[in-house]
């Protein structure tokens, strides 16, 4: 199973801090290893947070469905390094 689920394109990711949705079981050393091996960069710092999406109302049944839980990792790279998928200039 993969550690990185998908990249999250946010305003922070444009300022040099890259955000990824990661697997719920992922640890900081595992995330660091996955980012470094997949993108060929050096990771300096990782912060993680577990989030819940807003509850949504089903219009047919009028029931409120709970939001999906996911884990987010914010990755800081070494100075002058970038990840290509976050680069909006190309």
The predicted pLDDT at position 90 comes to 52
Q: Is residue 69 part of a domain?
A: yes
- Give the Cα separation of 31 and 79 in Å (integer): 19
The predicted pLDDT at position 21 comes to 94
- Give the Cα separation of 77 and 53 in Å (integer): 27
Range of the domain at 17: 4-84
Query: What does each of the 90 residues of the chain score in pLDDT, given as a tens digit?
Result: 579 999 998 777 777 789 999 999 999 999 999 999 999 999 999 999 999 989 999 889 889 989 889 999 999 999 888 888 777 665
φ and ψ at residue 31, rounded to 5 degrees: -65, -45
For residue 21, the domain's CATH number is: 3.30.70.330
Q: Is residue 16 part of a domain?
A: yes
Q: Is residue 90 part of a domain?
A: no
CA atoms within 13 A on the CB side of 6: 4
């Amino acid at each position: 199973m993969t550690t990185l689920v998908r990249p999250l394109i946010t305003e922070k990711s444009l300022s040099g801090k890259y955000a990824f949705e990661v697997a719920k079981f992922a640890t900081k050393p595992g995330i660091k290893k996955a980012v470094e091996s997949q993108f060929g960069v050096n990771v300096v710092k990782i912060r993680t947070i577990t989030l819940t999406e807003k509850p949504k109302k089903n219009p047919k049944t009028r029931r409120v469905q709970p939001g999906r839980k996911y884990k987010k990792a914010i990755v800081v790279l070494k100075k002058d390094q970038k990840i290509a998928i976050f680069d909006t200039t190309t």
